[in-house]
Amino acid sequence: MNKVNVFNNTDYDINLNIYRYFLSHAVKVANIDGEVNLVFSNDDYIRGLNKQFRNKDKATDVLTFPMGEANEGGDIVISYEWVLDRYNKDKIKMTVIKLIVHSILHLQGIHHNYTEKSLKKNYKRMRELYKKIIEHMKGNYNNANKKDIKKNS
């Protein structure tokens, strides 16, 4: 079962459809077999979660909460406020997509520490997964167009 839910718990006007579409393809490509919830929050909310679950009393960009074992789904919380405050407005969508890809790796059971070697390895995994997701999206788009062409012929 691949169920994807996206929630906006902020005062910002966020186009949730873009992220729902991307996330739905991401969970298929990553073989996540459970429900995945993506929650957009503000800094105060994510700071509370970070303090409660990681004992870090500060806001962060993203937190991922796997549901049990690897590939069983879970929750992704992104502070949209954090992203807006730290990234160029032209790069907001791409930044959020990168955070989603990062979180999907965590839902797959892939974790990292903050050594240079670990971070490089994680960035490589993120790039590989991102490419697979984009290819999957292109394939679905092309297949949908072929079906439409056959129907109209």
pLDDT for position 145 = 45
Predicted local distance difference test score (pLDDT) of residue 153: 39
Q: Are 63 and 49 in contact (CB under 8 A)?
A: yes
- In this structure, the strands spanning 4-8 and 36-41 are parallel
Tens-place pLDDT, residues 42-90: 999 999 999 999 999 999 999 999 998 888 999 999 999 999 999 888 8
Residue ranges of E strands in the chain: 4-8, 36-41, 62-66, 74-79
Residue 8, number of CB atoms within 10 A of its CB: 16
Show binding-site residues.
102, 106, 112
DSSP state at residue 4: E
pLDDT attached to residue 29: 94
Decide: 26 and 101 in contact? Cβ < 8 Å.
yes
CATH number of the domain that residue 114 is part of: 3.40.390.30
Confidence of residue 151 (pLDDT cuts 50, 70, 90): very low
At residue 150, the pLDDT reads 46
pLDDT computed for residue 56 by the predictor: 96
| Residue 29: partners with Cβ closer than 8 Å, 6 or more residues away | 129, 132, 133, 136
Domain count for the chain: 1
Q: How far is CA 28 from CA 24, 113, 131, in A?
A: 7, 26, 13
Mean pLDDT of 25-36: 94
pTM comes to 0.85
Mean pLDDT for the chain?
88
Enclosing domain of residue 21:
4-152
**What is the rounded CA–CA span in Å between residue 84 and residue 142?**
33
Residues 96 and 84: their CA atoms lie apart, in Å, by 10
Give 112-144 pLDDT, tens digit per residue: 666 788 778 878 888 898 999 999 988 875 555
Rg (CA), the chain: 16
pLDDT at 147 over 80: no
Quick one: pLDDT band at residue 22, thresholds 50, 70, 90? very high
Binding residues for Zn(2+): 102, 106, 112
- What local confidence, expressed as pLDDT, does residue 64 receive? 97
Q: Is 131 helix (H, G, I), strand (E, B) or coil?
A: helix
